[in-house]
Structure 1
Amino acid sequence: MTIKNVIFDMDGVLIDSEPFWAEAQISILARYGINITDDDCEKYTRGVRVDELAVIWIDMFHLDITPAALKEEIIQTVCLRITAEGKPMAGLYELLDFLKSKQIQLALATSSNRQVIQAVFDKLKLWDYFPIQCTAADEELAKPHPAVYLSAVKKLAASVRECVIIEDSVTGLIAAKAANIRTFIVNPNHNNDRFAIADKRVATLNDVLAILKSEL
């Protein structure tokens, strides 16, 4: 199998932002008298598009707030944290530079909207690495539907057989495999059975780099 394209998820793959998303949800819901935990965020909303994330909490706790308002509160909070404290995942630039040296095309396919993409790309200076940026916010259906990944493949003018996806969440993994694309899970808990359908399961992007160096 020839690898010509690598498609990256963003939150938890390019940037260590998943704690920001969890903290935003926890702190904002606390203002409405609702107590949730990191584990609740992991279980119910990790990898989920933010508009759908807002609906999940509103429906679960019968909150007296519109999904649009809750969504905006969460996005603003997350973007502020990214701008102030965002850090790349370990091994990110080494992996990106290696792929560029091998003339591998790169694309982004994230559940986050373009406001969050801009915050991340500005903070980490990623614009030159990713000429193609796809967001599930532009799709009718979000992850775990494969639409955003199929859009990335189309923009790359590639076949799914020539692509690899790098993901960190169960929701994203389901989307990637539904697109019939080889998928690497990068997660400290990669050996968890919920990631069993991944083609490769590793702890860090440095591990992805080691694999791809042996294949390219």
Structure 2
Amino acid sequence: MIKTVIFDMDGVIVDTEPVHKYAYFKHFDELGIQVSEAMYGSFTGNSTRNVFQRIKDTFHLEHEVEDLILRKRHLFNEAFDTKPDLELIEGVHDLIKNLHENGMQLILASSASKSTIQRVFNRFDLHQYFTHTVSGEDFPKSKPHPAIFLHAASLSVAPKEHCIVIEDSTNGVQASKSAEIFCIGYHSENSKHQDLSLADHIIHDFSEIDFETILNIKKKA
């Protein structure tokens, strides 16, 4: 029986990707480097630290990774605070509230930094629903490495066999499967270029699942 739902954040709870992309590419321009769309797409699910380590190695930058992170974070925060149309993904607040009201434990496991998670949770008042938030910046390896989901599952009230992950990225789904945790792939307009084929179950809208369906979804897979 499912006891815990582990949510990714970007693309699942809120679509901060356009803000991240703006901040990254503004920073790339400042650095005078050309990052292709293909390379940028491969960053999905990675922590900012691991992204800039790859950037530093690929473009032979002399900058310290921490300095690169701080500059990008400043650009992101500046854009985040001034973007009026940033909203939760359609239907996800109703799902979160439904699960919480029925006693399901909710944990966030996101590659985003702690400061970004805090900004999102404060803006949309999400702390009341989640028992834990886990940031990818605390792990040396990003998704598809399973470390973040294994840690999130260790915080669950039940063994990982009674957990499920909701993810929208190729790397996130792979991380969930490597952690041997049942995965629901959320296939949205934002994730149309992501391969979710390894997910145990795929949805296209959060109205497709609620507390009752999640209790039974693993049995039917």
Q: How many residues align?
A: 214
Structure 2 partner of 1:32: 31
* Distance change (3 Å), C-alpha of 1:213 and 1:191: same
Deviations 1:152-196 (A, max 9, x none): 111113211211101111111111111111111113266768321
Structure 1 partner of 2:198: 197
Letter in 2 for 1:130: F
Letter in 1 for 2:166: I
Which residues of 2 match residues 34-73 of structure 1 at below 5 A?
A: 34-42=33-41, 44-73=42-71
In structure 2, stretches of 5+ residues that fail to align are none
**1:117 and 2:135 are equivalent in the alignment:** no
Deviations 1:5-57 (A, max 9, x none): 10001111111111111221111101122233554322x21110110011112
Question: How many Å apart are 1:111 and its aligned residue?
Answer: 1.1
Letter in 1 for 2:204: A
**1:132 and 2:122 are equivalent in the alignment:** no
Q: Is the Cα contact below 8 Å between 1:7 and 1:163 reproduced in 2?
A: yes
State the identity %.
27
* Alpha-carbon distance between aligned partners in 1 of 2:92 and 2:181, rounded to the nearest angstrom: 21
Deviations 1:52-103 (A, max 9, x none): 0111122222233221111111222223333333311111111011101221
Q: Is the Cα contact below 8 Å between 1:83 and 1:120 reproduced in 2?
A: no
* Alpha-carbon distance between aligned partners in 2 of 1:25 and 1:197, rounded to the nearest angstrom: 29
- For the residue of structure 1 that corresponds to 2:94, the secondary structure is helix
Which residues of 2 match residues 1-216 of structure 1 at below 5 A?
A: 2-42=1-41, 44-85=42-83, 86-188=86-188, 194-209=195-210, 212=213, 215=216
Letter in 2 for 1:18: E
Letter in 2 for 1:57: I
Give me the TM-score of the superposition, normalised by structure 1: 0.89
Q: Is the Cα contact below 8 Å between 2:56 and 2:65 reproduced in 1?
A: yes
* Alpha-carbon distance between aligned partners in 1 of 2:177 and 2:183, rounded to the nearest angstrom: 7
